[in-house]
Structures are given as structure tokens and as C-alpha cells.
């Protein structure tokens, strides 16, 4: 247990030392501030641009913003935040392969299963921290400027999007075992996401693919109901379990030099 805790501490200290923890939290906080800020500034920006737009024949009328404007911006920014997390943390296994530090850890008695679970937990915790930090900052400012009660299922919609991020992270970990290069990890994860998108084009499958969760903001305006996402949640959870199990199985048999 002491070796496990020491490895857990080592992973977090590494994120602190290389500055990735601070950078990711700052970016997430910035995204959280940008959502209500852009919503509040939209009328001023449109008013500022009105004169120049009139010269081109476009007439700008009064622009009304509300809490939905800010939440819409939130769901536009979160895919970018997820990409940033993946890009910055996708090398969490690769660094160990290249430095040869995994051999040292394994010889000290830490099992491969525990190494896999620690690294997976670190990535997931970083995604949770980044996502919910941005969410709560947006929530607080939305409540100050408008009223979150005018939006429906705010927390559920966010949780569904967060689940999509967990799905992506678990495939990042899986491909970290399959490939020994960051490019392979990103390509493999990207292909899985693209396949989900393509399958979502078909009417019979669109409610059962993980990328369906990206439209969870429809809950805010009653354009969708929670039951619409039930099938996607089940499939996503099953795929997450499969990716996690397969990754752990392959890591236990991977040749580490």
C-alpha cells in the first residue's frame, strides 16, 4: 500500500513540477470566466460594430442575452477544454516508457494493475477538476447576472458531457498501452470518436452512440428530455468498461524495456 501511495504522490508531483496542473486549472478557470463574460459583452460588441455593418447594408437590431447565451458558450468551449486535457496528458505512459522508470517501479513491488489504475485515476481526476471548475465558475456568474433556474437540468446536462470526457480519457489510456508514440494515441482516440460521429448519422443509431452526449445542452431548453440519453449512457459505460478492462489486460502483458 505504501508503494501505491508513493506512486500516486509521484504522479501528482510530476504534474506540479512540469507545470501542467497549474496550466490546466488556469485554462479551465479562464474558460469558466469567458462564458458569462462573452455573453455580457455581446450586446456592446454588436452595438460597437453596428455602424460599420450598416455601411455594408446589414442592419443590427437590439441583441438580448440571457443565461442560455452563457451556457451555450460553455458547451462550445468544453470540447476545446477536453482537447487541451488530452493533448497535455496523453503522454503520461509514453514518458515512463522513454525514461525506463516503469521497470524501477515494478521491481519495487507495485503491480502493473496498480500502475494502470493510478495513471487512469490521475487522468480522470484532472478531467473532473478542469471540467467542474469551469462549470462552477460559469454557474456562479450566471446566477449573479441572470438566473440559472430559467435553464432546465443544468447539472444533469453537464454530467452527461463530463461522462463523454471520461469515455475519451479511457480510450486515451487504452491506446497508451497499444502505442508507444503520442501520435498513435491521439490518432487511435480520434478514430474512435469519428466512428461514433459517423454512426450517429444513422437515425436508428444516433441515440446510442457516445457522441450523443455532446448534445446534452438540449436539456437546458427542453429540446430533449433525460430519457433521450439513456441508450447513449448505457453504451458509453459499456465501452468504458471494455476499454478499461482491455487496456489493463494488454498492459499486464506488454513488453517494457
State residue 166's pLDDT score.
98
Q: What is the pLDDT of residues 112-142, one digit of tens each?
A: 888 899 999 999 999 999 999 999 999 999 9
CA distances from 161 to 77, 106, 155, 178, 192 (A): 12, 36, 10, 26, 17
Q: Is the pLDDT of residue 182 over 70?
A: yes
Q: What is the pLDDT of residues 138-163, one digit of tens each?
A: 999 999 988 898 899 999 999 999 99
**pLDDT at residue 82 in the model:** 96
- What residues contact 18, with CB distance under 8 A and at least 6 apart? none
pLDDT tops 90 at residue 209: yes
Q: Residue 27 pLDDT more than 80?
A: yes
Q: Which of 24-28, 107-111, 180-184, 212-216 has the lowest mean pLDDT?
A: 107-111
- Percent of the chain scored above 90 by pLDDT? 61
Burial letters 187-219, b for 16+ CB under 10 A, else e: ebbeebbeebeebbeeeeeebbbbbbbbbbbbb
Summarize pLDDT for 28-87 with one digit per residue, the tens. Answer: 999 999 888 887 776 666 556 555 555 555 555 556 778 998 999 999 999 999 999 999
Give CA–CA dist 153/163, Å, rounded: 15
Contacts of 68 (CB under 8 A, 6+ apart): 150, 151, 220, 221
CA distance 92 to 172: 10
Average pLDDT for 174-185: 91
Q: Is a pLDDT exceeding 80 seen at residue 183?
A: yes
pLDDT of residue 114: 87
Mean pLDDT to the nearest integer, 164-170: 97
User: What does the mean pLDDT of the chain come to?
Assistant: 88
Whole-model pTM?
A: 0.90
Q: Both ends of the chain: CA-CA distance in Å?
A: 25
Q: What is the mean pLDDT of residues 219-235?
A: 95
pLDDT reported for residue 105: 72
Amino acid at each position: 500500500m505504501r508503494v501505491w501511495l508513493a506512486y500516486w504522490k509521484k504522479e501528482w508531483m510530476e504534474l506540479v513540477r512540469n507545470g501542467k496542473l497549474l496550466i490546466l486549472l488556469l485554462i479551465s478557470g479562464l474558460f469558466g470566466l469567458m462564458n458569462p463574460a462573452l455573453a455580457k459583452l455581446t450586446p456592446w460588441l454588436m452595438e460597437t460594430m453596428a455602424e460599420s455593418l450598416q455601411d455594408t447594408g446589414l442592419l443590427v437590431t437590439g441583441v438580448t442575452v440571457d443565461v442560455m447565451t452563457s451556457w451555450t458558450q460553455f458547451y462550445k468551449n468544453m470540447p476545446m477544454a477536453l482537447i487541451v486535457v488530452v493533448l497535455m496528458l496523453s503522454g503520461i505512459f509514453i514518458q515512463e516508457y522513454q525514461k525506463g522508470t516503469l521497470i524501477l517501479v515494478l521491481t519495487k513491488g507495485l503491480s502493473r494493475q496498480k500502475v494502470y489504475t493510478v495513471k487512469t485515476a490521475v487522468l480522470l481526476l484532472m478531467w473532473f477538476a478542469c471540467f467542474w471548475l469551469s462549470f462552477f465558475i460559469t454557474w456562479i456568474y450566471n446566477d449573479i447576472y441572470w438566473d440559472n433556474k430559467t435553464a432546465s437540468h443544468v447539472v444533469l446536462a453537464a454530467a452527461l458531457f463530463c461522462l463523454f470526457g471520461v469515455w475519451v480519457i479511457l480510450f486515451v489510456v487504452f491506446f497508451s498501452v497499444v502505442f508507444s508514440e503520442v501520435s498513435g494515441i491521439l490518432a487511435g482516440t480520434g478514430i474512435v470518436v469519428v466512428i461514433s460521429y459517423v454512426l450517429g448519422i444513422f437515425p436508428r443509431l444516433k441515440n446510442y452512440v457516445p457522441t450523443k452526449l455532446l448534445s446534452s445542452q438540449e436539456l437546458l431548453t427542453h429540446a430533449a428530455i433525460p430519457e433521450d440519453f439513456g441508450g447513449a449512457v448505457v453504451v458509453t459505460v459499456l465501452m468504458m468498461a471494455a476499454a478499461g478492462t482491455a487496456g489493463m489486460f494488454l498492459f499486464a502483458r506488454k513488453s517494457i524495456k
